[in-house]
């Protein structure tokens, strides 16, 4: 029978063995999944996984006729050409990433060292210096929403990135000036509280600049990734994270040779800070000249953006991804540090391993994990891939615990090898803040969405890090005074405490229930998943509660009567 629509393109279905099954004619828009045309937010009618999987499925679709199917054209979520990370066109953006990643990591080390140079500064206050550096990360949502609402000269990411770099560089130069005063008065008794307060404010200011740059870069990575076709989406992200690992190795090396691992820096903090400030602003001309960003000429009132994002948080796709991130961020980060320290001490002195070496091993394993995802697992079902994170967190430590606690093999190299394998989990969880978001993020609210996930991650991290010194302690299950005796009883008790920790880590698997299966499933959930009105309220209450908690913990650290509590970094009152 003659077709009623001869002008429509044909889709011919083939079986797995290549035999033709049938041919159908469809409307041109039906196969434009995530079209990069002007209306790129329109998606096709949902299809089953067997019709969309790229990795060998029961049926393959081929579009024939005058409208030949082009996956490069119809697979993207946003208008724009696909870009390669390691290319001349991206040199300005790469320079921005280097400046942001290097300055944040080194600033954290400088902050800790600056506080320890103050005579009378407590261990808890030194810990709080690190928390102060991390605290602005909880404001990532605000900075992301700000960049969405008010472009700087029409540039939403590049403009705010440059502002953040300037704030960071000025703050670090000021820290260098005050550090010189601290070093010149090192022999004086007591602590000059004015200098301490000024240092804390400057550290906070520098951290704000770092976080502004981080949010802008992270958001721009997702924007570029949405221009990639469906099959290749994620390659740019992988290259980005690989480069960050390389910068992390360089930063660790710089910290090791300048600040060192002891209480006394290898070189003066003044010189270290000055060098850091120069490195921070050194890429600025390259960023200004070579980072090309699409001009955005439609600024929107902050209040309007907030109202829009309030509705976005109600989307089922958004709050489900946030729950997934929360479960992984919370339960995989819980560690019984005292029990793990006992294991390291029993393992032939592994606790004294070189910090630069262990950090470099961690970065290398994470890099290789991300590279493996890029090469082999790019289109693997998300739940299957991310399920390896809890497994690789628990299994290596479980084996190491058995070998060490029961004195089967107390070898520091075997212990270090097993622990190094667990860094695969860190590489996997690095991706969970970007990969699902790329499929559900909406144009115009990219910064706010990315900022919300970064804020949530840091708030949960702050909660867990303080509770690891309070509620989550292995010594609740064994007698610490019996550790040196190394008897059968204490070995069993330490092992039991670690088993409890592993059981808590296993709860992270619950988060996989909320994660969409793959890219097209996430897109379908965003378009047709509906809204939950209470979701935005719950998210805000949860984040505000954690933010208040983070503020209170930092304030406690500087109140002598409260700083002694373990939750504030003290040793007990």
Q: What is the pLDDT of residues 38-63, one digit of tens each?
A: 333 333 334 444 334 444 333 333 33
Residue 80 phi/psi, 5-degree rounding, is 135, 155
- Asked if residue 35 has pLDDT above 60, the reply is no
Ramachandran angles phi, psi of 10, nearest 5°: -100, 145
Answer whether 85-299 and 315-543 agree in fold: yes
Q: What is the pLDDT, as a whole number, of residue 124?
A: 58
In 3D space, the residue among 81, 46, 90, 65 whose CA is nearest the CA of residue 6 turns out to be 65
Contact indicator for 296, 156 with CB cutoff of 8 Å: yes
Q: Rounded to the nearest 10 degrees, what angle do helices 193-225 and 446-467 cross at?
A: 130
> Can you give the pLDDT at residue 264?
79
Closest CA to 127 of 568, 462, 549, 471: 568
Domain extents in the chain? 10-74, 85-299, 315-543
Decide: 412 and 348 in contact? Cβ < 8 Å: yes
Q: What percent of the chain has pLDDT over 70?
A: 81
Q: How confident is the model at residue 269 (pLDDT cuts 50, 70, 90)?
A: confident
Q: How many CB atoms lie within 10 A of CB 56?
A: 7
pLDDT tens digits, residue range 185-226?
A: 665 555 567 777 788 889 889 999 999 999 999 999 999 999
440 pLDDT higher than 90: yes
Instruction: Assign domain 315-543 one CATH number from 1.10.8.10, 1.10.1050.10, 1.20.1250.20, 3.40.50.300.
Output: 1.20.1250.20
What pLDDT, on the 0 to 100 scale, is given for residue 47?
A: 44
**Spatial separation of the C-alpha atoms in residues 46 and 487, rounded to whole Å:** 61
Question: pTM for the complete prediction?
Answer: 0.84
Indicate the pLDDT class of residue 26, thresholds 50, 70 and 90. very low
Q: Tell which CATH classification among 3.40.50.2300, 1.50.10.20, 1.20.1250.20, 1.20.120.80 matches the domain 85-299.
A: 1.20.1250.20
pLDDT in tens, 396-428: 999 999 999 998 989 999 999 999 999 999 999
Give pLDDT tens digits for 294-317. 887 666 788 888 999 999 999 999
pLDDT at 18 over 70: no
Write the pLDDT tens digit of every residue in 148-192: 999 988 899 999 999 999 999 999 999 988 888 777 766 555 556
Q: Is 536's pLDDT higher than 90?
A: yes
Q: Which residues pair with 23 in a beta bridge?
A: 12
- Look at the chain and count its residues: 573
Look at residue 569 in the predicted model and tell me its pLDDT.
Answer: 62
């Amino acid at each position: 029978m003659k077709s009623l629509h001869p002008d429509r393109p044909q889709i011919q279905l083939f079986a797995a063995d290549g035999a033709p099954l049938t041919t159908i004619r469809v409307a041109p828009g039906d196969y434009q999944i995530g079209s990069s045309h002007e209306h790129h937010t329109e998606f096709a009618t949902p299809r089953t996984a067997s019709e969309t999987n790229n990795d060998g499925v029961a049926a393959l679709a081929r579009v024939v006729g005058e409208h030949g199917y082009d996956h490069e054209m119809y697979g993207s979520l946003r208008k724009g050409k696909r870009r390669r990370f390691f290319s001349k066109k991206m040199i300005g953006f790469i320079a921005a990433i280097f400046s942001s990643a290097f300055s944040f990591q080194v600033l954290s080390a400088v902050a800790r060292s600056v506080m320890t140079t103050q005579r009378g500064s407590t261990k808890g206050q030194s810990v709080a210096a690190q928390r102060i550096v991390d605290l602005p990360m909880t404001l990532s949502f605000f900075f992301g929403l700000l960049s969405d609402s008010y472009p700087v000269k029409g540039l939403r990411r590049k403009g705010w990135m440059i502002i953040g770099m300037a704030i960071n560089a000025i703050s670090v130069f000021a820290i260098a000036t005050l550090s010189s005063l601290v070093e010149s008065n090192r022999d004086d008794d007591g602590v000059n509280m004015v200098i301490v307060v000024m240092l804390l404010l400057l550290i906070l200011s520098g951290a704000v600049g770092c976080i502004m740059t981080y949010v802008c870069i992270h958001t721009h990575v997702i924007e570029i990734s949405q221009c990639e076709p469906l099959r290749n989406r994620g390659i740019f992200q992988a290259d980005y994270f690989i480069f960050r690992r390389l910068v992390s190795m360089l930063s660790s090396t710089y910290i090791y040779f300048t600040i060192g691992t002891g209480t006394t820096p290898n070189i003066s903090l003044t010189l270290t800070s000055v060098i850091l400030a120069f490195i921070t602003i050194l890429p600025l001309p390259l960023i200004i000249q070579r980072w090309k960003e699409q001009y955005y000429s439609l600024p929107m009132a902050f209040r309007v953006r907030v109202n829009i994002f309030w509705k976005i948080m109600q989307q089922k796709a958004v709050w489900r991804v946030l729950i997934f991130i929360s479960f992984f961020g919370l339960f995989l980060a819980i560690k019984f540090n005292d029990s793990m320290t006992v294991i390291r001490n029993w393992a032939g002195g592994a606790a004294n391993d070189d910090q630069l070496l262990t950090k470099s091993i961690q970065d290398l394993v994470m890099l290789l994990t991300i590279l493996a995802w890029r090469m082999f697992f790019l289109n693997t079902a998300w739940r299957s891939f991310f399920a390896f994170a809890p497994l690789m967190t628990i299994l290596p430590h479980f084996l190491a615990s058995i070998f060490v606690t029961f004195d089967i093999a107390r070898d520091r190299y075997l212990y270090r090898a097993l622990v190094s394998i667990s860094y695969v989990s860190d590489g996997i969880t690095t991706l969970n803040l970007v990969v699902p978001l790329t499929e559900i993020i909406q144009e115009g609210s990219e910064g706010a969405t990315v900022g919300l996930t970064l804020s949530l991650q840091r708030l949960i991290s702050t909660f867990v890090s303080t509770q690891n010194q309070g509620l989550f302690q292995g010594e609740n299950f064994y007698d610490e005074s019996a550790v040196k005796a190394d008897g059968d009883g204490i070995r069993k008790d330490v092992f039991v405490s670690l088993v409890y920790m592993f059981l808590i880590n296993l709860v992270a698997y619950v988060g996989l229930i909320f994660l969409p299966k793959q890219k097209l499933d996430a897109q379908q959930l965003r378009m047709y998943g509906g809204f939950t009105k209470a979701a935005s309220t719950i998210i805000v209450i949860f984040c505000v509660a954690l933010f208040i908690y983070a503020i209170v913990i930092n304030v406690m650290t500087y109140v002598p009567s409260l700083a002694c509590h373990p939750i504030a970094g003290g040793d007990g009152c």
